[in-house]
Chain A
């Protein structure tokens, strides 16, 4: 059955369309302000005249290319091209600063491929079973998962732990503007209708990460640091290195896939969670954030692992796993295909065609990005005096295109200024954006959970999956406190000595 699906995709016309799809997806993913979701949404009309399988194959190609493309500016410019690439900046950009930009790009491309293949394998063999597990996740389970995910703030904080907590809480405060989850009550809108919808993630992200760079560069007098463009040879990752990182790659791909299976969580959480787990499992956790390949691998394998995972609830239950698969759901329905449990019986050719397209898209992505590394790396030669202003315009354009409103352009500018000002006081962007992403999910699920249990918090400790995440949270917080005391005692004994 799988071979039938694969053969349906392996024809010249579909392959050419997929190559174009992956390339366009990479371009969308690599431009800050544009996303994989935008790429898929804009190209839906192109698929109207196509048959179902080629049409879906093009959509999948755009999805895979778009998610993967975010690594390019994340590594070279410290600007995540997509929300999924936030964690890639933590170690990707420091690697570029060390003159290892080419190696970082090559490594990220290779592990993205592996992450995609891992999710393809899980999707192909276990999607109906995994979909059943995803159905067991209710509001208490989601809330406990969010609590656990929030402990990531401790992992990604560099330097003062308290400032990391403050950063995360400030991120959450920004999410209180707009309509409250569940009951839709207006909060902190000051009577302005533009604030009713709150702040969208994309304009906030590109404002904080990309626009604030302009002000940081202005403060230092726009001094150009002449970047040496490193020589790139091969894939940037040797077979020996792949063997050494096999556990990290596999774990990260699985984390990404599992997070993708849970609807509504998204690629940013997947890559950050994977990064956090890689840091905890590492023998040298103190090196994370300074330009270590392990951190880069964890992020990129996870965010590409998400692509297959997000297709599980979409195909098996008709529930989109993230915003891009929500658009894919629309594309499927336009093609006359109704996703859900019966799809596996009524249209197995479509299912296996999509599986085949996912595998082929990952191969195409690997090849395009491999040959493209030598071109991408030349971004470093473009003076920042030209690059940064153009990035600002594309950010503004991308923000405008999200909701077709000038308000989002203002959000980009204001958060760019805020990002710059907050950085002066030691506020870190990574924990801030984690608080921004996870805060509303935690609040919404807590409120829904308490509604269902008539105000009782007990089910959080009696439901098995929820209890598992609560225990994991306690262990995670405990280990941070323990390490903190251990380091403090070590410092004190060093001083005494």
Chain B
């Protein structure tokens, strides 16, 4: 066997160790290694290098994990604080008692106002011959629903835009 053949097989050993060899070449390499002492020696030296690489044990600073955990928690808290809060339709946890009171007043006024308005409208609509059902619809659509919407918008609005002290 000439030198070129050994070089070829030793290149195949490198490829095999790197995981860059075909199954066919691997088989041919195995067969060659049974009979070739120099190539076997070459493989042995490579394997010793690889085993030698496992002979290092780096010390990890014992406080490193806790330091990393602390940094992660801090960064997560900072991110949470910096991130705009997710909008929910009604964020009950940000609603102060004053807002609840304002809402109660608004709802009462809506209902009471609707009743008063209905009586007034019923009286005023007599000359134009509107019946009671039409007056009720008018009060519902043009007074009660808008006032209820306004009350709930107050509740759902961001704190700074509620306009309630």
Co-complex (A, B): no
Q: A: which residues have CB within 8 A of B?
A: none
Q: B: which residues have CB within 8 A of A?
A: none
